[in-house]
Amino acid sequence: MAEINSVEEMFSFGRAVGEQLKSGDLILLSGPLGAGKTALTQGIGRALGIENVTSPTFVISRIHPGKIPLVHVDAYRLQGEATAIFDDLDLESYLATSITVVEWGEGLADRLADQYLEIKIEFGESDDLRIVSIIGHGERFAGFKA
| pLDDT tens sequence across 15-31 | 999 999 999 999 999 99
Distances (CA, A) of 141 to 17, 45, 91, 104: 11, 19, 20, 20
For 114, half-sphere exposure in the C-beta direction (CA atoms, 13 angstrom radius) is 3
Report the predicted TM-score, pTM, of the whole model to 2 decimal places.
Answer: 0.88
**In sequence order, which residues have a C-beta less than 8 Å from that of residue 43 and are 6 or more positions away?**
10, 11, 12, 13, 14, 15, 16, 17, 18
Domains of the chain: 2-139 (3.40.50.300)
pLDDT digit string (tens) for 59-100? 677 888 988 999 998 876 666 555 555 555 656 667 678 899
